[in-house]
Amino acid sequence: ARFLHQVGVICYFDNGSEALRQMVIVDPQFLADAMSSVITIRHRFGQEQATAGILQPSDLPHVWAKFPPETRDVIMELLETFEIAFKVPIGAVIIPSLLPEQQPAEL
């Protein structure tokens, strides 16, 4: 598997949770879709929510509607691995690339 990963035939991760280590991605489009699902939120959900850069737990099923529910935790872990999104203790997800450039007056 390591050789196939090195030559780009498959993607797998030998670090992270057991679920992530068990996942082998044979379709690179799956990985691209998982990453673009949060990067393109602005186009799908509107400017106001996207510019905040913070998704609430209730938003996530809509963001990942095209993915089976059983894969969503692993998708979140992939996004954290690539530093695209981060879970915070209150359950929200922060997407740094969508945070406003100026700090809001109130947090």
Task: List CB contacts of 81: < 8 A, sequence separation 6 or more.
Answer: 13, 16, 20
Whether pTM exceeds 0.85? no
Identify the domain containing residue 35 by its residue range. 2-98
Is 107 domain-assigned?
no
Is 103 among the domain residues?
Answer: no
Residue 104 in domain: no
Q: Is the pLDDT of residue 86 over 90?
A: yes
Structural domain count, the chain: 1
CATH code of the domain in which 21 resides: 1.10.10.2200
Q: What are the tens digits of pLDDT across the range 40-66?
A: 877 666 655 555 788 888 888 888 888
pLDDT at 87: 92
